[in-house]
Amino acid sequence: MKIKYVLFLMIILFGTSCKKDFEDINKNPSVFTTASDGSLLNNVISSLQYGWNEQFYINNEILYKQTQMAALFKEAWGNSTIGTEEIWANYYNSLPNIRELQLRFSNTTPSHALNNMNAMVKILLAYKTFKVTDLFGDIPFSEAGYGFQDVTKLRPKFDAQRSIYLTCLNELKWAADNIDPTAIGEPFATFKTFDKLFFGDISMWRKLANSLRLRYAMRIYDKEPAISAQIIGEIITNDLPVLVGCNFSGAMLEVAGIYPYKCSFKNTGRIWSFREHKNLRMGSNLWHQMSSNDSANGSGIFDARAYLFFDTNNDNKWEAFPQIPVAGTPSESGVPYDSQRDQDAAYGIKGSTCLFSPFNYFLISDQDYIPDILMTGAEVNFLKAEAYMKGIGVAQDESNASNEYLAGIQASLTFWRNTLSTTSLLHGSKFDTIVHIPVTLTLNYLENKVGFWNYTSFDEKLNLIYTQQLIDFFRQPMEAYSLVRRAYGRLPREGAPLSYFRFLIPPSEVSYNGVNYQNAYSSQADLTTTKMWWMQ
């Protein structure tokens, strides 16, 4: 953790993620005192971009398999610590920037404009902290990131996950309550020019704060039902501003995400992670949530997202790799993620040994228009559907649950169709020119297949909400992982139940911060089978 707190902080303070435009704004100061507030904010926002090793070793090698959103036909990259070290470093390298901003704000004359700035930083801290604690469990938090201010905190204590959750939920509430969209003068006017998430739209920051409160309050319901219900009820009953999915006024999906084209950089990490990893294919589990049969011609497909997320094999057939391979399952290989497909004439060349459906090449190769997603309005719809279905913070109401559920499906399908339509091959045509989705695969067709009216029991309908949320999380593997752990046993799954519940604390932390690590994990095992605090 030394490189996280002191020795190399001057090198990594202004990291390499989201280089262009971020880089232009974020000049490289030699010390904190010469770094502007905006440049520190910019560095934290740039750290929201998914890391290359995070995508390769964590998402592609572990999470797609564990969530069964895809199938891993060969396990060839067992060193997950390369990915966890990157996630850990990303978080703890950005914490000093956040702590420095908070210190500066505390020493500045209070104002509504300053509250807006403080709220943005609190939201970023909460989001990044939730992400890390939901992967590892107990982590250093309350004392972490203060090494520049207090050398006694260079080796920070580990905090219990419950304490971390409640603190971050309170911080999000402060942010949502104190944002003032009318306070747009200085110092906020300059500060917001460094905002590459919402580009200075402070009302969107407030929506994100409330949306994140909804997400994480729902996550702790099984362990803290009273706290969870109070937060969820406050947001829904008072109609507090949240990210919009689909609603009765026709408003469409709002997204909190890092869009490369908006930040003037090329996202090359995603295609690298697939090209070098190679081993992901469409799995039988998700396939059976999108198609009513296994016909290779795709005649059973009822969800257009099958065309948006996946592709046919080299023989132009839809073939799902078995989630649990059996004796006689053909060996798989091919080159469906290689760069020869960047040209129209070679797009269909996936290698003669590509026998099973790969991921959609446009989805994983686009460098401009596919965002790294933090949260979407579709997720908000599904969370509200769950609240109404279970009566969490609101009166139990199946009609309202159905409306929010269908709105979530519409928002998800519309978002992915619109997003893919903007993509193109590096040296060729746009998505809609190459991929032809049958005109029969409409929203109504999908909703008629998966609507509540096809089912009778409470459990079946609740499980539908979880299943559609899982599908929408297709490019958010970490959120899908949290959903699978939270809704344990309620999502479609083949084979044994999930038993991989968390990641091990990275070796660098164990080595450097050994005493505090031992104190944290003396009464609980640092094992992948150790459950999160919020799990049943």
> Average of pLDDT values for 172-191?
97
Give the start-to-end residue ranges of the domains of the chain: 2-267+368-492+508-520
Percent of the chain with pLDDT over 70: 93
> Average of pLDDT values for 414-432?
96
What is residue 251's predicted lDDT score, i.e. its pLDDT? 63
> Average of pLDDT values for 15-44?
60
What is residue 34's predicted lDDT score, i.e. its pLDDT? 73
Among candidate residues 231, 187, 257, 261, the one with its CA nearest the CA of residue 424: 261
**At 139, phi and psi to the nearest 5?**
-140, 160
Per the structure block, which two tokens stand in for 67?
Answer: 């969530």
pLDDT digits (tens, 9 = 90+) for 124-141: 999 999 999 999 999 999
What is residue 483's predicted lDDT score, i.e. its pLDDT? 98
Indicate the pLDDT class of residue 4, thresholds 50, 70 and 90.
very low
Q: How far is 45 from 134, CA to CA, in rounded Å? A: 20
Q: Architecture of 2-267+368-492+508-520 per CATH?
A: Alpha Horseshoe (1.25)
What is residue 153's predicted lDDT score, i.e. its pLDDT? 94
What is residue 111's predicted lDDT score, i.e. its pLDDT? 98
What is residue 31's predicted lDDT score, i.e. its pLDDT? 45
Residues contacting residue 156 through CB under 8 Å, at least 6 positions apart: 140, 141, 142, 143, 144, 145, 146, 513, 516
Among candidate residues 481, 456, 463, the one with its CA nearest the CA of residue 405: 463
Q: Is 500 in contact with 66 (CB distance < 8 Å)? A: yes
pLDDT digits (tens, 9 = 90+) for 192-227: 999 999 999 999 999 999 999 999 999 999 999 999
Per the structure block, which two tokens stand in for 21?
Answer: 């435009």
pLDDT digits (tens, 9 = 90+) for 153-166: 999 999 999 999 99
pLDDT digits (tens, 9 = 90+) for 293-302: 999 999 999 9
- Residue in this structure with the two tokens 């850990």, named with its chain if needed: 88
Q: Which long-range contacts (CB under 8 A, 24 or more apart) does 155-159 make?
A: 155/1, 155/512, 155/513, 155/515, 155/516, 156/513, 156/516, 157/516, 157/519, 157/520, 158/516, 158/517, 158/519, 158/520, 158/521
What is residue 247's predicted lDDT score, i.e. its pLDDT? 72
pLDDT digits (tens, 9 = 90+) for 495-514: 999 999 999 999 999 999 99
Q: How far is 156 from 134, CA to CA, in rounded Å? A: 19
Q: How far is 474 from 467, CA to CA, in rounded Å? A: 11
Q: Is 364 in contact with 274 (CB distance < 8 Å)? A: yes
372 has which bridge partners? 258
Task: Say whether pLDDT at 263 is over 50.
Answer: yes
Task: Say whether pLDDT at 468 is over 80.
Answer: yes
Q: DSSP for 5-58? A: HTTTHHHHSS-SSS-TTHHHHS---SSGGGS-HHHHHHHHHHTTSPPHHIIIII
Q: How far is 367 from 308, CA to CA, in rounded Å? A: 16
What is residue 246's predicted lDDT score, i.e. its pLDDT? 84
Indicate the pLDDT class of residue 12, thresholds 50, 70 and 90.
very low
How many other CB atoms are found less than 10 A from the CB of residue 103?
14
> Average of pLDDT values for 373-377?
98
> Average of pLDDT values for 353-370?
98
Indicate the pLDDT class of residue 17, thresholds 50, 70 and 90.
very low
**Where do runs of H (alpha helix) occur along 202-333?**
202-219, 225-237, 260-263, 269-277, 284-287, 305-309
DSSP designation for 475: G
pLDDT digits (tens, 9 = 90+) for 243-261: 999 876 666 789 999 999 9
CA-CA distances (angstroms) from residue 85 to 79, 119, 125? 11, 29, 19
Model-level pTM greater than 0.85?
Answer: yes
Q: Is 10 in contact with 30 (CB distance < 8 Å)? A: yes
What is residue 32's predicted lDDT score, i.e. its pLDDT? 52
What is residue 78's predicted lDDT score, i.e. its pLDDT? 85
| Mean pLDDT of the residues in the chain | 93
**Where do runs of H (alpha helix) occur along 138-196?**
161-178, 188-191
Q: How far is 64 from 58, CA to CA, in rounded Å? A: 9
What is residue 372's predicted lDDT score, i.e. its pLDDT? 98
Task: Say whether pLDDT at 5 is over 80.
Answer: no
Residues contacting residue 329 through CB under 8 Å, at least 6 positions apart: 321, 322
Q: Which long-range contacts (CB under 8 A, 24 or more apart) does 88-91 make?
A: 88/132, 88/136, 88/506, 88/508, 88/509, 89/3, 89/4, 89/12, 89/508, 90/47, 90/51, 90/54, 91/128, 91/129, 91/131, 91/132
